[in-house]
Amino acid sequence: MTYTTPHSLSGRRPRLLMLPFTLASRVFRPARPGRLTDGAIEAAQMMRTAIGVAATIWMVYAYPLQQSMSSFAQDKLAETLISTGVLIVVGPLALVVFVAAARAPGRAVYVRRLSGPLTGFGALFATVLLLFLLLQNSGGARLAPQLGPFRFVFLLVALAAVLFAVPFGLASAFLCVHYVFRTGDVHEVLPPLLSPLLVWVMFGFQLADGSPAVAPQAVQYLFLVGPPLSVTLLSAWELRRLRTQFGVTVRGALHRGRRPAPW
């Protein structure tokens, strides 16, 4: 007979709370067997993200905000959601163009690898649809009375689904942008090709919104232009490193060069 101790219960609670984030990481992190990984590229990406977060925190504390802290946080969340929306539109189009432009035998291989991005897209779409059906116009609350004696069971299940879907959706939106919708599962050249497109689209939104802080004009320009420029330079360096260190090029990935990309 197995006894559950209070210590084991307390250990399960953090794991249960982290379950949406753990599952989102598994769904949106590229996981193709044999996928080319490079520690220098991953370290550079993490360093850029850390520098960006540190710079944002510095600006918030160094200069007065033009809005409340809660509004600033909501704007940052909105930017992440907009980035996810852009990827939902641009990602599939880019994959279609990439697969269509590839010559045999690459095209058939890339079609089989679409399962990774499709998994991410399906999970994100299902999460948004679930939250929309349960929360839009109190859809879940209006449906419950129609279920008679089962309404309490439905409300408990609906509440659990919302409590899971909200953190899962937020984590998915962030990871979707970070991993460029798992396009690396199709080929390693796709994330550095799509990342600059995404950040320059976001540059247009930020240009229309203006700076969130009352800072000198030079600082505002730096925070406005710095992110898209840094991502573009990092993507160019990543493509160059893939070419020089691993012999992977865009032409090779499309099987249009002298050296096809390694599988």
- C-alpha pair distances (Å), 258 with each of 50, 99, 253: 38, 19, 11
Q: Specify whether the CB–CB gap between 182 and 116 falls below 8 A.
A: yes
How far is the first Cα of the chain from the last one, in angstroms, to the nearest whole number? 50
Long-range contacts of 88-97 (CB under 8 A, 24+ apart): 88/121, 88/124, 88/181, 90/194, 90/197, 90/198, 90/201, 91/117, 91/121, 91/180, 91/181, 91/183, 91/194, 92/117, 92/121, 94/183, 94/190, 94/193, 94/194, 94/197, 95/183, 95/186, 95/190
Long-range contacts of 215-224 (CB under 8 A, 24+ apart): 215/59, 215/62, 215/63, 219/59, 219/63, 223/55, 223/56, 223/59
Average pLDDT over residues 195-201: 88
Q: Which residue is associated with the tokens 């939902």?
A: 88
Average pLDDT over residues 157-174: 88
Q: How many Cα atoms within 13 Å fall on the side-chain side of residue 149?
A: 0
Q: How many CB atoms lie within 10 A of CB 122?
A: 11
- Decide if pLDDT at 222 tops 90: no
- How does pLDDT run across 184-194, given as a tens digit for each residue? 999 999 999 99
- How does pLDDT run across 87-135, given as a tens digit for each residue? 888 888 889 999 999 998 889 999 999 999 999 888 888 888 888 877 7
Instruction: Write the DSSP assignment of 85-108 as a string of letters.
Output: HHHHHHHHHHHHHHHHHPPTTHHH
Task: Name the percent of the chain lying above pLDDT 90.
Answer: 27
| Distance separating alpha carbons of residues 252 and 244, to the nearest angstrom | 13
Q: Specify whether the CB–CB gap between 82 and 199 falls below 8 A.
A: no
Find the farthest-apart pair of alpha carbons in the chain and give their distance in angstroms, rounded. Answer: 69
- Decide if pLDDT at 45 tops 90: no
Confidence of residue 139 (pLDDT cuts 50, 70, 90): low
- Decide if pLDDT at 56 tops 90: no
Identify the three-state secondary structure at position 51: helix
pLDDT score recorded for residue 144:
63
**Which range has the worst mean pLDDT, 63-72, 111-120, 228-237?**
63-72
pLDDT score recorded for residue 167:
92
| Distance separating alpha carbons of residues 176 and 117, to the nearest angstrom | 10
Please report the sign of the dihedral spanned by the C-alpha atoms of residue 192, residue 238, residue 183, residue 52. Answer: negative
